[in-house]
Structure 1
Amino acid sequence: MSMISRRDKGADVTSFTRMDRLFDEWFRALPMRRPFGLDWPAGEELIRVDEYRDGDTQVIKADLPGIDPAKDVEITAADGMLRIRAERRIEQDREDKGYTRHEIRYGSMMRTLPLPENVSEGDITASYKDGMLEIRIPMPPVPEAKKPTSIPVSSS
């Protein structure tokens, strides 16, 4: 007998979707996936990033050499997730050069990262210089903790 479970209609599906995406990204990053032929069907590579905090700004740096950022990079922010998609195009004269070794990968690359809570997606900026894409995410101010309110107890 098989068991079928259903999600509650009130469950936060967005949280499940975010976890699925994060698990997929983690699995893509495993170094052992290539030797065993566990490549992704779409042929997309994982964009490697460094992520750190610089004062009140979250900074994401992505290593994307050999691309034209105006044509080959798309950055979107929606539903608490930041998606970076890029494509490294094959050179037209590649066949004529008589390569001894050809290890540079071409094709599409993608990375999806969770955004910090309460970030204004319209304030996110990106720049590209010397093969590095830098995305800056201003962090919202942390609300001050309110002092507890004392409630008097009356006796009857």
Structure 2
Amino acid sequence: MARWFPEFARDLMEPGHVGQMLPRVEEFVENKEMVVRAELPGLDPDRDVEITVNDNSLRIRAERREESRDDADGYRTEFRYGLFERIVPLPAGVNEEQVRASYKDGILEVRVPIDEKRAEAKRITVER
């Protein structure tokens, strides 16, 4: 029982560990941009990462493929393989046409400009 407890506790504490895996993210606003940074080490952003924006949400989807190690004696891995997906709600007023992304040192950074004028609530007059 003591051997499996650390893994069981990790399953409860880590987001996305059970079932679909979620990359860890940090979100903040900087210079009128929503910035979302995701930990995605060991991936090729051209091949393994897909980013979409619609309906005021940002979707980061990635897949880490397991390399075949059939010839390795005593091979074992603790790496996580498979599909990773994270959906981040975006604030009102985002400019979806000017979203940009970069990848460096295993960190994916997505910048979404926020148009303050678009974010303002519009008052609707009730007709009689």
Query: Smaller-chain TM-score range?
Result: 0.7 to 0.9
Matching residue within 79, 95, 99 for 2:55: 79
Matching residue within 64, 83, 102 for 1:88: 64
Matching residue within 102, 109, 113 for 1:127: 102
Pick the structure with more helix per residue: 1
Deviation at residue 100 of structure 1 after TM alignment: 5.4
Q: Structure 1 CA distance, aligned partners of 2:74 and 2:104?
A: 28
Matched, 1:114 2:93: no
What TM-score comes out, normalization by structure 2 length? 0.74
2:26 matched to which residue of 1?
50
What TM-score comes out, normalization by structure 1 length? 0.61
- Do the aligned partners of 1:33 and 1:39 also contact (CA within 8 Å) in 2? no
Counterparts in 2 of 1:1-150, with a 5 A limit?
Answer: 32=12, 39-40=18-19, 44-92=20-68, 94-99=69-74, 101-142=76-117
In the superposition, relative to structure 1, how do residues 111 and 99 fare at CA in structure 2: closer, same or farther (>3 Å)?
Answer: farther
Q: Structure 2 CA distance, aligned partners of 1:140 and 1:31?
A: 39
Q: Structure 1 CA distance, aligned partners of 2:44 and 2:78?
A: 20
Q: Structure 1 CA distance, aligned partners of 2:100 and 2:49?
A: 13
Q: Deviations over 1:42-65 (max 9, x none)?
A: xx2011101112221111110001
Alignment: residue pair count: 108
Structure 2 gaps of 5+ residues are: 1-9, 121-128
Paired-residue identity, %: 45
Pick the structure with more strand per residue: 2
- Do the aligned partners of 2:38 and 2:109 also contact (CA within 8 Å) in 1? yes
